[in-house]
Amino acid sequence: MRRVLVTGADGFVGRVVCAKLLEAGYAPVAGVRSDDGWRRLRVAVPGLDEVKVLGDVSTIPDAAGAWRDIDAVVHLAARVHVMRDLASDPLKEFRSTNVGGTRNVALTAAKQGVRRMIFISTAKVNGELTTGKPFGENDAADPQDAYAVSKWEAEEMLRRVAAETAMEVVIIRPPLVYGPGVRANFLRLLKLADHALFIPIPNTQNRRSLVGVDNLSDLIVQCVCRHEAANQTYMVSDGEDVSTRELVSRLAVALGHEVRFIPIPASLTRIAARLIHREKEASRLLDSLCIDSAKARGSLQWIPPVTLAEGLQATALWYRERCTSTGG
């Protein structure tokens, strides 16, 4: 039974990764930052035997033997992307956790004889939008914000660690991740689809790639042991791209009703967004960002276990149950 340390195990993706590792017969060691994370995880993932409080990954210690007999590390702990960052120097903050923290994890793992590290990066490393051709693993990096820059720098650092040590590194670049328990932008989309009758989204016919948390976690588990994955980079998605309008419409249907769209010009939306300093939000609403996951599907024979329709339905069900239990 292989022991796999998962950092950020109490997060949105981490909980699902731990559960899938258990299902696959692994012995996950759940790394969390605090005792609160430990308590949440015990409830969220029944059957999880080992939870280790690692503290801040920027200064990660051995943490009471958390690294003992570990075969692989799935590194999820990160400073995540936020739309309106209030830090005085966002890049410095992102680098501290996403580069410095990742370096600490990688060097500690290599020193302890860990065979493989799986690092969850982001499709934003490739850029913010696509025009015609989807992003692939061999495309030049073009990170546009502090979060993406920090993830790209972490990737480059990990490749150097892999070249200088016996530890293999696998890098996975997901687009927007959704599923039960999702927060931030996707949760706002759910609320919009649930409450708004008329939605002012221009019909740009853009295309966006998504990945369900179950599909992302399934690929992560595949990469723990497959020898073909050693020192590889993979893009990952559900394999079905949708427009923003289509996504909102399908979420509304999954929630049990329909929405109508107000046909406003895209140019007007962009002008309004510029006036209130929300150009990036408008870009995510109107532009395309597609990725090609053919490499994972080919070399690993990986097939996403959950379709986009199934993933959206499961997310809508979670959202509805959440609203019922919280009263809104």
* All domains in the chain, ordered by first residue: 3-178+211-238+292-305 (3.40.50.720)
pLDDT higher than 60, residue 64: no
Compute CA 147 distance to the chain's CA centroid, rounded to the nearest angstrom: 13
Give the span between the Cα atoms of 9 and 50, in whole angstroms: 11
Percent of the chain with pLDDT over 70: 93
Give whole-number Cα distances, 69 to 21, 51, 112, 303, in Å.
Answer: 16, 15, 8, 31
Q: What is the per-residue pLDDT across 284-327, written as a single tens digit (0 to 9) for each?
A: 888 899 999 999 999 999 999 999 999 999 999 999 987 766 65
Query: Within 10 Å of residue 119's Cβ, how many Cβ atoms?
Result: 24
Tokens of 96: 């501290």
pLDDT higher than 80, residue 17: yes
Contact 77, 7 (CB under 8 A): yes
* 104 or 50, higher pLDDT: 104
Q: Report the DSSP beta bridge partners of residue 235.
A: 173
pLDDT higher than 80, residue 63: no
Q: What predicted TM-score, i.e. pTM, was given to this entire model? A: 0.93
Tell me, what's the pLDDT at 80?
Answer: 82
Q: Which residues contact 112 (CB under 8 A, 6 or more apart)?
A: 67, 68, 70
Q: What is the per-residue pLDDT across 120-160, written as a single tens digit (0 to 9) for each?
A: 999 999 999 999 899 999 999 999 999 999 999 999 999 99
Q: Which residues contact 295 (CB under 8 A, 6 or more apart)?
A: 136, 137, 232, 234, 235
Tell me, what's the pLDDT at 324?
Answer: 66
As annotated, the active-site residues are: 147
Confidence bin at 245 (pLDDT 50/70/90):
very high
